[in-house]
Structure 1
Amino acid sequence: MGDTIRRWALSAVGTAVTGSLALGGAASVDLLGVPTDHLAVMSPSGLSVDPGAVGVHPLGAHSVVVEDGAVRVVDGEQIVWSNAPGAAFLSAGTGHVSWEEHRGYFWADVNHDQQWTAQQLTGVEAAPGSVTLTGDLVSADGAVPFTVSFTERADGGVAADVDTGATSAGGDDPVLQWTGGRSVGAGVHGFGEQFDDFNLDGRLVPVVAREQGVGRGEQPLTLLADVTNGGAGGTTSMTYAAWPSYVTGDLQGVRVDPDDEAAHAFAVGDTRAPDRVGLEVWAPSMRLELTRGDTPAHLIATQQGSVERPRLADWTQQGAIVGIQGGTDTVRETVDRLEASGTEVAGVWLQDWTGQRTTDFGDRLWWTWQLDKQRYPGWEQLVGELHDRGIRTTTYVNPWLVDAGPKDDPGIRNLWAEARDAGLLVRAPDGSPYMVDQGGYSAALVDFTNPAGRDWMSTVIAEEVLANGVDGFMADFGEALPMDAVLHEGDATLMHNAWPRLWSEVVREGCEKAGRPDCVTWFRAGTSGMHSQSPAFWNGDQMVGWSEEDGLASALAGTFAAGVSGWPVVHSDIGGYTSVNLQLTDYVRDEELLARWGEYAAFGPMFRSHEGNRPAVNRQVYDPEEIDAFARNSRIFAALAPYRAEVLDEAARTGVPAIRHMWLTHPGTAAAGADDQFMLGGSLLVAPVMAPGQTEVTVSLPPGTWRHLITGQVYQGDSTITVAAPIGSPAAFIDTAHPLADQLVADVGAAARGAG
């Protein structure tokens, strides 16, 4: 990301002690005092069906089939959804979720009070356009009624409106659990951008937007981060972008309707049982969408529906968007050096346009959202010169505001003071502006539940951020609304997961106010429904390393999950972002990592570099030792533009992701199980090097005939091969049946060799 809320105490730590302890009214902690999630879900009991409810109940092109112990929604002979054999598909309860928070990290402690987990289906009412199931949910303490009303979706599948008689009592909150069946062992994919195995089988998956952590299980990094900074190490289930949506290997999908309030409630996915998936949502009712597809790609397109998705501007496809900081002269000199090296430069990303400050964590920004004219004198001339050279300028903004007084710049507005005086800031429980520690300074959020706050912030984006020729920006943060905040409207615990979407809507309104509907924005925090607001997303803050937990390999894992969950265009910071010196180890980039990350990004939808949080001690793409590799990778990216145009067009039209897990394109083949390679679109296969010192890769080729884009060598598919992959010759293959195959081999090969 462009900035961070982390602060570090640098100290060595002893041996880890394992184990956890549940605390009443707080998250669990391990025995070192580090917070952890304490997750619990209801366990559904049996389903009983009254004889009068048994039958086939037509629903347009679908039918709801009710049998003894079984309910199915079918489309002809195809099952769209069914319960697990004999098990209740709906449970209800009451309880509460307590939260512990520290600088954007949130830990849940889930407690159930009452639970109604046995289900009695007593009636079916068929009406034009709907089939409604009624009955009771039962426990030893009594019963509550339920209704489930099925209607057909315009985009395919059915919607299920779910309600029960479980209501808040004694301060507790209502919770629902929907449990669907799956074939034993069928994969489960999605739940937002999960930086974990593509198949999430065997897990409890918390659905909450939050800081993802530093290390996320990579040791000793995570342990050191945890004990020096209050749990900042994170876990593999922590992500900026989670929402209640999944698909299975049975080609069935379930998601909470993005426009339903329950879509943003805290939820937990339960994939521990091999024949079912539970989705527990802390809401009194919910509207589910149940879908199926003929193929995995068809399933994703059906689930995502025919919504209008913004498209990436054409200029982003012509080369690198280079992250540079340091002021006007530094930008000019760096761009000149890059172009002289043969780099295709499409844009610059100047995150420090608003000024830079230094903290314990590294180089930070002034969140005042106005141009720092001392750092960037002659801004308009610089932007104009770059534009004349075919290079666009992008910047940075987030939803936080800091007091501009300490910056001592009389030429700018104090936006924080303006918003405070107008009553537009999120409030603390005592009614004052909620000032959140950012590690060296504090900041407040604009209240987006207040229409006046939305209008004010979108105007700031239009008149300040998008002023003077800027073509786009990173729209950072969005995941850190405090759970105890006081809002203009709504409960913060229910609005927390909605905040990324509110932020994306404000950003889109700002672009429209500025007359820039083509404004290029990219977000890291996410929730359901954001795909209609922004053309692109990014993976957030990976470490400047290789690990599957929090390095280069994790970026691919997050992209896979985000893609099947509804984010079709996802990229990462080339080289990662987070660099820390933890005494035992100084985590910095090396030359090999930058080259390999660049090769990976060259086959993605955007090619953008980041200097990281400690630019001075990390290698940069424009350094003499790195610049040739970066130039080569930028040329490969540019050479792929004609092919990528059709991929991005499909992503915008259908929601099928640009970067695809092999299961999406070649289900039922040996290649479908490969988690370490991917498809760009339907015809270009990439097996990136994601481990240090590796000079060859093993590739599982799907059926067909495949041609290496760099060497031109032809391979027969439905086979496993090992190919050389030295730096400069990434293992990438085009299906020879694609009409652009010959052109791509010629152009990408020339780009890699520096010819043409």
Structure 2
Amino acid sequence: MLGDGEAAARPAGTSRRARARPHSRPRPRTRRILRGIALGAAALLVLGIGAVGVQLARLPADDVAPIAVGALEVAAPFEGESGAAALQVSGDAVRVLRDGALVWASEPGRAFLTAATGTLDVQEHRGYFWPAVHRDRVWSEQTIDAVTPTAEGWTLEGRLRAGAHETPYELAIVDDGARVTMAASVPAATSVALHSGRTERAGVHGFGEQFTDFDLDGRVIPLLVREQGVGRGLQPLSLLADLTNHAAGGTDLMTYAAWPSFATDDLRGLRVAPGSAAAHAFAVADLSAPGRVGVEVWNPSVTVELAGGDTPAAVVAALHEGDERRPIADWTQHGMLVGAQGGSDAVRERVAALREAGTEIAGVWLQDWVGQRTTDFGERLWWTWQLDRTRYPDWQRLVDELHAEGTRVTSYVNPFLVDAAPKGDPGIRNLYAEARDAQLLVRDASGQPYGIDQGGFTAYLVDLTNPAARDWFAEVIAEEVLGEGVDGFMADFAEGLPFDAALHEGSAAELHNAWPRLWMETVADACRRAGEPECVTWFRAGSLGATPALAWTGDQLVDFGREDGLESALLGTLSAGVSGWPVVHSDLGGYTSIDARVHDYVRSPELLQRWAELAAFGPMMRTHETNRPAANLQPDEDAAVASHLAAMTRVFAALAGYRAEVLDEAVRTGLPVMRHGWLVAPGTAAAEVDTQFFLGDDVLVAPVLRPGADEVAVTLPPGQWRHLFTGELVEGGQTVTVPAPIGQPAAYVDAASPWADELVDAVRGSG
């Protein structure tokens, strides 16, 4: 969509209530989309729907039809064991077991390996990417001609057929003592697809942070990191964004964080091996056939890791075993991170107002620390990554004051640089010029720095494939950002590497999906260089096997909707949780606000309150002013909202002891902090519900996700459950509709939990 780091800010020393704040942020598309959607709405009213159909036909769109799958022929049955692994090749299927449990099976009678030659075309427009797959030849039928035991497993050899044309393949199955891997190679191919069998219509979960149903059965999903769109299908907003901003509306399949990793209701998991050659290649997940899950990777070979377990939680933990995970700093767990900007006086004013309301504050988040610039589209920020001492002349005093109060300070960084000369500040370095002269920037086809239009100015990506560039930029962040006394920052972007860029090492098309991982590694290096063991950074873009200590769901719309609002944030969190991102939060209150004329999308007091109730039971609470701060209610501008938010921060703080245990488990096992019922209560009705979640295993929350509702349905697993706000004991194993007035969300603790009494007392006492 638009990227979530930066919004409008007030001039230093200006009272928040004294003037309307400009609607701005330093992302390239915001003002253009706002203005374009408004104009598009008016045009629709004049032209009518007939003209719309003509224009929509010209818009880019995903074109990723699944690869065809034919028959499997087996020359002879085979059974063998190798260490803890076993292989069974029958007349119509292949099965792989480990310690007696099935970890992978092919669909009976159908090929489990197919391949193709062809091309991948990707259209791009300011961070939006639309892939189109063109296959010239598809080898859709498969033979197994020989199975040969090896020291650690087996090698299968055979042929793939496309009519009269054949090509050989080799598939190695290896048990390395930790897990089973399968490595398929088809030298003649452009893409290789592995098709896993599943019980008919068995649920499939994962593939990164997907904002649709938790069960992705029936879908064909491009696994491509990209902007997620405005509205993501919510009409008329997405239609207007498409018409006026070159398909900026997005679809329900677009996400900042997509990768090939999934688990099924059959208690089997698979992911492309993070360290393999195809780890970050473009891929297509095919869940359209009821008996299989296909993953087509645009590479001549693919290596996958297999996992199984007795429960869904065991499968997810096994699938992500060995991933590097770092704990989030404890200081984030005792209050909210307050979004504020506009200079020192404005920051002090907001913090004081929220403290007066009784808010537990852990830190502040100051996005405009680099200062503002004026463009044709309004006030935006300077991506110079150095303090603007005009805007914050007493920065160090402000930081010292906040730290003395026990309040941490965080800011904002992204992997772009801009020319600092137009800013006219002789006190700062021109980082763009330094990187340009040292050849540390991503280049275009002519070898020049790749200038990417940001709507009023041009920005340049640091080439994160260049070790020298990464060292330089990590040192810049350590000195210029963390050296200013901050305790962390939003690490935005990383989803927009152009496919036609030239890099120091490798192909941009092959490394596009890897860019978030390279950005995470650069940021982690900066924190190490700064000697900041409690440095807190949060990311929205993701890569296979790259696990941030903290992620956020990106740019949700300021509404309750399932397409792009509050409910979508919950859905994305639950999907990310089984895909290897265990600690995920969202912008409290949403981010994207657009006046589309036919409807002005601004957040209501109720939305802020309901979002706060969800966030209180997550891993971190953090407010955002939205991209139109003056048009959207801020928590400290309404007494009832401020009081409610303060109460929810006290609930968040009251859960700190229990949540610490859950966070520790997340680091040790990879199990998410916020869990779908499928992970906690498999086989029960609670495992089928997408609109509630568990904090760890013991706390169940059914947030209100519809405006105007004062009650909510909650599906309780068997056992007894205690309401955290009333203490009422309820029999589980049923779905009940319970009162959920603002300030009393439907939150329960398992009565058998050793935490039950403490949590009920703590939450009830937090008021």
Shift of the alpha carbon at 1:398?
A: 0.2
Deviates more, 1:253-262 or 1:71-80: 71-80
Q: For residue 147 of structure 2, what is the aligned residue in structure 1?
A: 124
Cα distance in 1, alignment partners of residues 102 and 52 from structure 2: 42
The 8 Å contact of residues 473 and 522 in structure 1, kept in 2 or not, is answered as yes
- Is 1:35 matched up with 2:49? no
Q: Percent identity?
A: 56
The 8 Å contact of residues 2 and 351 in structure 1, kept in 2 or not, is answered as yes
Q: For residue 757 of structure 2, what is the aligned residue in structure 1?
A: 742
- Is 1:160 matched up with 2:182? yes
- Is 1:109 matched up with 2:123? no
Find 2:535's aligned residue among 519, 533, 544. 519
| Residue identity in the other structure for 1:750 | G
What's the secondary structure of 1:274's corresponding residue?
coil
Cα distance per residue 1:440-477 (max 9 Å; x no partner): 21101000111111111111111111113211110000
Q: For residue 647 of structure 1, what is the aligned residue in structure 2?
A: 662
- Is 1:630 matched up with 2:645? yes
Cα distance in 1, alignment partners of residues 549 and 622 from structure 2: 15
Cα distance in 2, alignment partners of residues 150 and 581 from structure 1: 55
Find 2:631's aligned residue among 617, 625, 642. 617
Q: For residue 48 of structure 1, what is the aligned residue in structure 2?
A: 73
Shift of the alpha carbon at 1:364?
A: 3.0
Q: For residue 673 of structure 1, what is the aligned residue in structure 2?
A: 688
Cα distance in 2, alignment partners of residues 656 and 367 from structure 1: 36
Cα distance in 1, alignment partners of residues 737 and 108 from structure 2: 44
Q: For residue 698 of structure 1, what is the aligned residue in structure 2?
A: 713
Shift of the alpha carbon at 1:32?
A: 4.4
- Is 1:660 matched up with 2:660? no
Shift of the alpha carbon at 1:669?
A: 0.5
Deviates more, 1:201-210 or 1:363-372: 363-372
- Is 1:722 matched up with 2:719? no
Cα distance in 2, alignment partners of residues 364 and 685 from structure 1: 41
Could you say if the C-alpha distance between residues 641 and 358 of structure 1 is closer, same or farther in structure 2, counting changes exceeding 3 Å? farther
The 8 Å contact of residues 342 and 631 in structure 1, kept in 2 or not, is answered as yes
- Is 1:232 matched up with 2:230? no
| Residue identity in the other structure for 2:187 | G
Cα distance in 2, alignment partners of residues 577 and 744 from structure 1: 31
Q: For residue 565 of structure 2, what is the aligned residue in structure 1?
A: 551
Q: For residue 61 of structure 1, what is the aligned residue in structure 2?
A: 84
Find 1:187's aligned residue among 203, 225, 229. 203
Shift of the alpha carbon at 1:358?
A: 5.1
Could you say if the C-alpha distance between residues 178 and 605 of structure 1 is closer, same or farther in structure 2, counting changes exceeding 3 Å? same
| Residue identity in the other structure for 1:43 | A
What's the secondary structure of 2:594's corresponding residue?
coil
Could you say if the C-alpha distance between residues 17 and 201 of structure 1 is closer, same or farther in structure 2, counting changes exceeding 3 Å? farther
Shift of the alpha carbon at 1:360?
A: 6.7
Cα distance per residue 1:200-219 (max 9 Å; x no partner): 11111000000000000001
Q: Output aligned runs, 1:278-677, within 5 Å.
A: 278-357=294-373, 364-531=380-547, 534-625=548-639, 626-677=641-692
| Residue identity in the other structure for 2:70 | S
The 8 Å contact of residues 32 and 227 in structure 1, kept in 2 or not, is answered as no
Cα distance per residue 1:656-709 (max 9 Å; x no partner): 000000011000001110110000000000000011000000111001110000
Q: For residue 73 of structure 1, what is the aligned residue in structure 2?
A: 96
TM-score (norm 1): 0.95
| Residue identity in the other structure for 1:633 | M
Cα distance in 2, alignment partners of residues 261 and 369 from structure 1: 34
Cα distance in 2, alignment partners of residues 78 and 265 from structure 1: 30
The 8 Å contact of residues 677 and 699 in structure 1, kept in 2 or not, is answered as yes
Shift of the alpha carbon at 1:436?
A: 0.7
Unaligned runs of 5+ in 1: 21-28, 168-173
| Residue identity in the other structure for 1:112 | R
Q: For residue 2 of structure 1, what is the aligned residue in structure 2?
A: 5
TM-score (norm 2): 0.94
Q: For residue 16 of structure 2, what is the aligned residue in structure 1?
A: none
Cα distance in 2, alignment partners of residues 333 and 597 from structure 1: 23
Find 2:289's aligned residue among 273, 280, 289. 273
Q: For residue 25 of structure 1, what is the aligned residue in structure 2?
A: none
Q: For residue 24 of structure 1, what is the aligned residue in structure 2?
A: none
The 8 Å contact of residues 30 and 36 in structure 1, kept in 2 or not, is answered as no
- Is 1:147 matched up with 2:183? no
Deviates more, 1:141-150 or 1:235-244: 141-150
Cα distance in 2, alignment partners of residues 505 and 355 from structure 1: 26
What's the secondary structure of 1:530's corresponding residue?
coil
Shift of the alpha carbon at 1:376?
A: 1.1
| Residue identity in the other structure for 2:627 | N
Shift of the alpha carbon at 1:181?
A: 0.4
Shift of the alpha carbon at 1:624?
A: 2.7
| Residue identity in the other structure for 2:297 | V
User: Which ranges of 4 or more aligned residues in structure 1 deviate by more than 4 Å?
Assistant: 15-20, 358-363
Cα distance in 2, alignment partners of residues 514 and 153 from structure 1: 38
The 8 Å contact of residues 348 and 392 in structure 1, kept in 2 or not, is answered as yes
The 8 Å contact of residues 72 and 111 in structure 2, kept in 1 or not, is answered as yes
Cα distance per residue 1:501-532 (max 9 Å; x no partner): 0111101111111112331110000111211x
The 8 Å contact of residues 323 and 545 in structure 2, kept in 1 or not, is answered as no
Could you say if the C-alpha distance between residues 740 and 18 of structure 1 is closer, same or farther in structure 2, counting changes exceeding 3 Å? farther
Cα distance in 2, alignment partners of residues 619 and 359 from structure 1: 25
| Residue identity in the other structure for 1:102 | H
Shift of the alpha carbon at 1:579?
A: 0.9
Between Structure 1 and Structure 2, how many residues are aligned?
733
Cα distance per residue 1:19-38 (max 9 Å; x no partner): 99xxxxxxxx9744221111
Cα distance per residue 1:290-344 (max 9 Å; x no partner): 1111111111100001333110100000000010011111111211111111000
| Residue identity in the other structure for 2:493 | F
Could you say if the C-alpha distance between residues 155 and 375 of structure 1 is closer, same or farther in structure 2, counting changes exceeding 3 Å? farther
Cα distance in 2, alignment partners of residues 311 and 482 from structure 1: 32
Deviates more, 1:709-718 or 1:407-416: 407-416
Q: For residue 17 of structure 2, what is the aligned residue in structure 1?
A: none
Q: For residue 170 of structure 1, what is the aligned residue in structure 2?
A: none
Shift of the alpha carbon at 1:356?
A: 2.3
| Residue identity in the other structure for 1:681 | G
Q: Output aligned runs, 1:708-719, within 5 Å.
A: 708-719=723-734
What's the secondary structure of 1:420's corresponding residue?
helix
Cα distance per residue 1:119-149 (max 9 Å; x no partner): 1101111122121111111112421111111
Cα distance per residue 1:629-657 (max 9 Å; x no partner): 11111111111001100000000001000
Shift of the alpha carbon at 1:98?
A: 0.6
Cα distance in 1, alignment partners of residues 260 and 84 from structure 2: 26
The 8 Å contact of residues 702 and 747 in structure 2, kept in 1 or not, is answered as yes
Which structure has more relative contact order (CA 8 Å, sep 6+)? It is: 2
Cα distance in 1, alignment partners of residues 449 and 706 from structure 2: 46
Could you say if the C-alpha distance between residues 153 and 692 of structure 1 is closer, same or farther in structure 2, counting changes exceeding 3 Å? farther
The 8 Å contact of residues 28 and 456 in structure 2, kept in 1 or not, is answered as no
Could you say if the C-alpha distance between residues 228 and 595 of structure 1 is closer, same or farther in structure 2, counting changes exceeding 3 Å? same
Cα distance per residue 1:471-515 (max 9 Å; x no partner): 111000000000100111111110100101011110111111111
